[in-house]
Chain A
Amino acid sequence: MATREELSEFLAGVERRAFKQAVFAVRDESHALDIVQDAMLKIAEHYGDRPAAELPPLFTRILQNAIHDFFRRSKVRSTWVTLFSSLNPGDEPDADPLETLEASGDVRTESTESSYEREQIVAIIEEEVARLPARQREAFLLRYWEDLDTAEAAAAMGCSEGSVKTHCSRATHALAKALRERGITL
């Protein structure tokens, strides 16, 4: 069974990534925080007595479900604007690069020129990741950010391994193309 310290350490290790993933999906930091909090509460309440080794895949699944639930609830409440923006990311006001640059401006004074450039690159990458279609982004992040293998990602997404591979491949190509167009080559 995971001790309180183990659970705390686990959550501390994943919370920022979870938050970012939720932000990429819902495009709203406040909602993203709610989603992460919800996922944390669920894993603690329902799976807090599981061994520490079982927590990562469980949390991944819970987080994905929490994100899906958010969209389901949004649909029910007819806040289709969120869905519409995810389908048409080009019109998304939150995707304005100026906003990202402005947000990262606080750190600029303390950074060197090169680190500022790197910061901009990171912001652009995050922006383009957020613009990927939902399932492609989900598969890509689970495979390459959460470091899950294809089978684990398929289990977390509730689809076949083939679908995960297809989504990942499409996401990679779309992301590489979008970054190239913005002058970034990784």
Chain B
Amino acid sequence: MNQDEFGFRVRQALNEGAERVDYRTVLRLEQARGRALARQRRAGPATVRLPALQLAAAGAPPVDGSRGAWGWLRGAGWVAPLLALAIGFVAISQWQEELEIKRLAALDFAVLLDEGPLEAYADQVFGVLLQDEQRAER
């Protein structure tokens, strides 16, 4: 008997065995099938995805016609992203300025107390400050 024929006969036996699965197992398999069917993925309506900027520039609603929870933002067209960008720039600039002020204040305070850290003398800004002071004294 060749391999395929042997395989076929084993297959028949296995099919018979599968048919004799006890009823509890059959029931559980049916339940599992029911749960799976309840969660079957359905193909949604055909929508075309457009890049966000293109959509904003057009100021148009989505292709599927729904405006959704963020529909008002899309309707704002150019204004909303530009406004957000401007606010972002201003905020970053303010934050950087604040950091620089704090850093210089700390450095000044340390110099006043004659406790300036060694790193302060390697600081370019501090070097420029010293040169300015020397020039002023002359």
Residue of B18, B19, B29, B36 near A33 (CB, 8 A) is B29
In the complex, identify which listed stretch (A70-78, A86-94, A117-125, A156-164) lies at the interface while the others stay far away: A117-125
Interface size class of B (residues with CB under 8 A): 20 to 34
Q: Total A-B pairs in contact (CB under 8 Å)?
A: 121
Within 8 Å of chain A (Cβ to Cβ): is B14?
A: yes
Within 8 Å of chain A (Cβ to Cβ): is B13?
A: yes
Residues of A within 8 A of B67 (CB): none
Query: Chain B: which residue is nearest A49 at the CB level?
Result: B43
Query: Chain B: which residue is nearest A8 at the CB level?
Result: B37
Knowing A37-B35, A144-B11, the reply to whether A20 touches B6 (Cβ < 8 A) is no
Query: Complex formed: what's the CA distance from A176 to B18 in Å?
Result: 20
Within 8 Å of chain A (Cβ to Cβ): is B9?
A: yes
In the complex, identify which listed stretch (B20-28, B69-77, B111-119, B126-134) lies at the interface while the others stay far away: B20-28
Within 8 Å of chain B (Cβ to Cβ): is A181?
A: no
Interface residues of chain A, those whose CB is within 8 Å of chain B, are 1, 4, 7-8, 11-12, 15-17, 19-20, 29, 33, 36-37, 40-41, 43-49, 103-104, 106-107, 118-119, 121-123, 125-126, 129, 140-141, 143-145, 147, 168-169, 172, 175-176, 186
Given A11-B33, A40-B32, A125-B14, 14 extra CB contacts under 8 A: A4-B40, A7-B40, A16-B26, A37-B36, A44-B36, A45-B36, A45-B41, A47-B41, A48-B40, A49-B43, A126-B14, A129-B10, A169-B3, A175-B6
